[in-house]
Amino acid sequence: MKLLAIETATESCSAALLIEDEIFSLSEVAPRRHNEIILSICEQVLAQAQTSLSQLDAISFGRGPGAFTGVRLAASVTQGIALGQDLPVVPVSSLASLAQAAAETMGVTQVLSCIDARMQEIYYGLYSLNDNGVMELVGDEKVIAANKMQIEINGNCYGVGSGWAEYANDLHDVLGKKINFEQEVFPQAEYVAKLGKVYFEQGNHVTAVEALPVYLRDNVADKPKNKLVF
């Protein structure tokens, strides 16, 4: 399988190409420059693997939540490629990709992913590792003030994401315990690709026109009606 993945929901702009179980990826922290560099990054990743768009089986993207312009950019670039090449699309939660990265790099089994949503709020989701090594969402993804979060975690939970950089004290207060966390991490296309492959093999993919971003805040865009678990 050959799957291209794009992730631009936060400060980091990345693309990855998955060929069977091999990953080619490139990432750059470039706030406010994603629209200038994302296509070039995609081209470089394809060149590394000596692969063309016409050889792809599917394309995946970080569908948010995250920065409005970043999430919209990933969706629009994905739609353009998918339409041009007649490819199925696999939307992947940017919070889930954070959790999957933590599971694979740190060996944790429960992750509270938090992305800074600005305006004193965070996007968050609680994830648990299943028997197949895939992080699954527990409950719903939400946007809320950090000091108003209501969630139960076990003692082995790990925190990841930019939300922890700003609101670690508030999060520890509402959780009723201190947990270890990593704040300087962003969603990466490498893990969007890995989750995208899993979802694709489960039949969880959509057409290009159905590849919609998820903002969470103020119902800017509706969630996909097929209620896939991303």
pLDDT tens track for 172-189: 999 998 999 998 899 999
- Neighbouring residues of 17: CB distance < 8 A, sequence distance ≥ 6: 2, 3, 4, 5, 23, 24, 25, 45, 46, 48, 49, 51, 193
**pLDDT-based confidence at residue 128 (cuts at 50, 70, 90):** very high
Collapsing DSSP states into helix, strand and coil, what is residue 230?
coil
Alpha-carbon span 94 to 91, nearest angstrom:
9
pTM: 0.93
**Which class is domain 2-93+187-219?**
alpha beta
* Strand ranges (E), 161-198: 181-182
Evaluate whether 2-93+187-219 and 95-182 have a shared fold.
yes
The residue ranges of every structural domain in the chain are 2-93+187-219, 95-182
Look up the CATH superfamily of 95-182. Answer: ATPase, nucleotide binding domain (3.30.420.40)
pLDDT above 90 (res 229): no
Alpha-carbon span 143 to 94, nearest angstrom:
13
**Ranges 30-34, 114-118, 150-154, most confident:** 114-118
